């Protein structure tokens, strides 16, 4: 796109948002309707809950040393993307309905960019989780050998890609100079951009589904070639984590696929696709996805649930619960690591993900699930390193 084309009479860069909505036959109501009030009344509380729930997930991963591994840092980044989505939905709700007519084009592009960034960051993060799980499990590890520095760079790259994809429509890939290419769902967006964006995300979904299918088949095959005791312990730990991640991926695909199909339909057929009829419903389903992940973590992960209770207890008692150091000590009992190393000495099956570098060393040498499964309360209390938790096991806030 050249400067001459931008300034020529065929461009409509000086027109308002209302002009593009009228061209796309997408009405902007002058008065508040029952649906507008319903969107505002239900959307804002839901967005608030989404933000708080994902803040809880991020705090749990930060405060519990058992989660200081690449896979959990990536899941924490997924929670950050969901939190960002909650903020993006809040901004969308506060600038929709009759308020849309008051937006400048810059404000309208920002409103759409926030949604684009949150979706792209979520998809890129899920892809990174899939690659991390594939690499670690195929090489018979529980946790990746990536250093913290590499994890940070990966997370920065994920958000960089999201920001770039969010800025693309406002910078050059729009329909301000080609009204025939305007979308009906997002009247300033190019239909070709929507086709590209929807196909890219759908293709990424299929790639991730293929990777997870390969992982499950590999774990099943490996189970036939190992001893029964080690195989059961190994498969239980790996499959539990894989099921949790697969549920996160499945929920994301279920919630976002209808919206992507609507965008693809709009991009291919334009006004003839009647995509506006389904737009609001798809947006509500997509917003619900940002609340699903914290629920999955609570139902599937006992350690995450325990940490949630501890954090909420701190707020309820105004800091009157046990110190965080005490919680970390109970979770990191030296006996657990010794018991695990005694029972799983086969270095072919398990590789130590610890790093030698002081700056990049991961906190724990074993996953919390497996250590908690192998250590029983019947262990003699006189063994060195045993932590006496007593009633704290029953009530973490005691």
Identify the pLDDT of residue 297. Answer: 82
Identify the pLDDT of residue 380. Answer: 39
Identify the pLDDT of residue 296. Answer: 87
pLDDT of 165 > 90? The answer is yes
**Average pLDDT value for residue range 220-237:** 62
**Average pLDDT value for residue range 78-101:** 90
Mean pLDDT value across the chain: 75
DSSP 329-379: HHHT-HHHHHHHHHH---TTT------S-TTT--S-SS-HHHHHHH--TTS
Spatial distance between the Cα atoms of 93 and 113, rounded to a whole number of angstroms: 14
pLDDT tens, position by position, 39-65: 788 888 989 999 999 999 999 999 988
pLDDT of 85 > 70? The answer is yes
DSSP 147-175: -HHHHHHHHHHHHHHHHHHHHHHHHTSBS
pLDDT band at 249 (very low <50, low <70, confident <90, very high): confident
DSSP 76-142: HHHHHHHHHHHHHHHHHHTT-GGGGGG--HHHHHHHHHHHHHHHHHHHHHHHHHHHHHHHHHHTT-S
CA of residue 186 relative to chain centroid, distance: 24
Identify the pLDDT of residue 42. Answer: 84
Identify the pLDDT of residue 322. Answer: 55
pLDDT of 77 > 50? The answer is yes
Domain borders along the chain are 17-316
Identify the pLDDT of residue 397. Answer: 43
Paired tokens of 374: 């192998």
pLDDT of 7 > 60? The answer is no
Question: Residues with Cβ < 8 Å from 147, sequence gap 6 or more?
Answer: 355, 357, 359, 360
pTM, entire model: 0.74
pLDDT tens, position by position, 307-358: 988 988 887 876 555 544 444 444 443 334 333 333 333 333 334 444 444 4
**Average pLDDT value for residue range 73-98:** 90
Domain 17-316, what architecture?
Up-down Bundle (1.20)
Identify the pLDDT of residue 124. Answer: 92
Identify the pLDDT of residue 318. Answer: 63
pLDDT band at 396 (very low <50, low <70, confident <90, very high): very low
pLDDT of 168 > 70? The answer is yes
Bigger pLDDT: 95 vs 342: 95
Contact of 193 with 168, CB cutoff 8 Å: yes
Identify the pLDDT of residue 227. Answer: 52
Identify the pLDDT of residue 58. Answer: 93
Contact of 146 with 191, CB cutoff 8 Å: no
Paired tokens of 241: 């984590």
Paired tokens of 327: 């919680």
Identify the pLDDT of residue 383. Answer: 36
pLDDT band at 131 (very low <50, low <70, confident <90, very high): confident
Identify the pLDDT of residue 49. Answer: 92
Identify the pLDDT of residue 143. Answer: 66
Identify the pLDDT of residue 232. Answer: 62
């Amino acid at each position: 796109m050249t400067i001459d084309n931008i300034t020529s009479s065929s461009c409509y860069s000086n027109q308002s948002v209302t002009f593009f909505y009228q061209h796309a036959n997408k009405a902007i109501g002058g008065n508040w309707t029952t649906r507008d009030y319903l969107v505002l009344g239900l959307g804002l509380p839901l967005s608030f809950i989404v933000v708080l729930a994902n803040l809880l997930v991020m705090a749990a991963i930060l405060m519990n040393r058992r989660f200081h591994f690449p896979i959990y840092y990536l899941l924490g980044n997924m929670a950050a993307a969901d939190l960002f989505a909650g903020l993006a939905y809040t901004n969308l709700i506060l600038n929709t309905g009759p308020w849309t007519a008051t937006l400048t084009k810059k404000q309208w592009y920002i409103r759409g960019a926030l949604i684009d960034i949150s979706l792209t960051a979520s998809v890129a993060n899920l892809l990174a989780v899939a690659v991390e799980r594939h690499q670690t499990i195929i090489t018979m590890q529980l946790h990746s050998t990536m250093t913290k520095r590499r994890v940070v760079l990966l997370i920065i790259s994920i958000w960089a890609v999201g920001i770039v994809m969010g800025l693309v429509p406002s910078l050059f890939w729009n329909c301000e100079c080609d009204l025939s290419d305007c979308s009906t769902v997002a009247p300033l967006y190019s239909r070709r951009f929507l086709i590209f964006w929807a196909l890219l995300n759908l293709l990424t979904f299929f790639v991730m589904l293929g990777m997870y299918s390969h992982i499950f088949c590999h774990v099943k095959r490996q189970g036939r070639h190992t001893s029964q005791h080690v195989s059961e312990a190994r498969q239980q730990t790996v499959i539990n984590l894989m099921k949790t991640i697969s549920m996160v991926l499945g929920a994301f695909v279920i919630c976002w696929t209808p919206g992507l199909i609507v965008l693809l339909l709009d991009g291919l057929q334009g006004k003839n696709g009647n995509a506006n009829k389904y737009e609001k419903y798809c947006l509500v389903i997509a917003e619900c996805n940002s609340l699903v992940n914290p629920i999955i973590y609570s139902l599937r992960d006992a350690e995450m649930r325990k940490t949630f209770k501890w954090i909420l207890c701190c707020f309820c008692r105004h800091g009157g619960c046990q110190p965080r150091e005490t919680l970390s000590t109970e979770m990191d009992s030296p006996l657990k690591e010794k018991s695990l190393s005694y029972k799983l000495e086969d270095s072919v099956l398990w590789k130590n993900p610890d790093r030698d570098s002081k700056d990049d060393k991961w906190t724990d040498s074993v996953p919390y699930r497996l250590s908690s499964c192998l250590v029983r309360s019947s262990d003699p209390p006189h063994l060195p390193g045993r932590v006496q938790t007593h009633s704290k096991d029953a009530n973490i806030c005691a």
